[in-house]
Amino acid sequence: MNDGITFEIEEGDGTLTVTTTVPRRVLLKDKKVSCTLIDVKQFLESNNIEHNRLIDKTYHEVSNFKNETLTGRWIFEKPKTTKTRAAKPKPKPKQRIAEKTKEPESPPEGRSKKPSVKSIRERTKAIANKRAKKSSNSEGEN
């Protein structure tokens, strides 16, 4: 990535200025070198230099294809440093006094908690018989 590109970093009030210079291409056989915003960001990240958004730039691309664009400047916003404060301890929730829960009352005599399969079948048959009687009575009236 380097290819003779030099990076100079200056820190100002809330800004980070990166100046890049590419080597002059004297002969046609000399290597063509360019530097863009992507290259500058890669350089900053590889050197663990924190930066925020780009504020200003001189050129979109610095290259040795043209003599007037051998040097470029990118100005970034520096991240704001915040003082870390010790976290306040969360207040403990008020303890509730557990009331004695009443045990559920036992079901009335002759009835268990869960109906048995036999009793469900008997009730189902009884309901079916009632419906059959009603339908036969309504047929006889018609």
Whether 17 contacts 9, CB under 8 Å: yes
Q: What is the pLDDT of residues 113-133, one digit of tens each?
A: 666 777 788 888 888 888 888
Tokens matching residue 26: 């004297």
Burial class of 22 by CB neighbour count within 10 A (0 to 12, 13 to 18, 19+):
buried
Extract the residue ranges of the chain whose pLDDT is less than 50: none
* Single-letter amino acid, residue 53: R
pLDDT for 87 equals: 62
Contacts of 6 (CB under 8 A, 6+ apart): 20, 21
Task: Count the residues in the chain.
Answer: 142
Which among 72, 68, 67 has a CA at the least distance from the CA of 56? 72
Report if pTM > 0.75. Answer: no
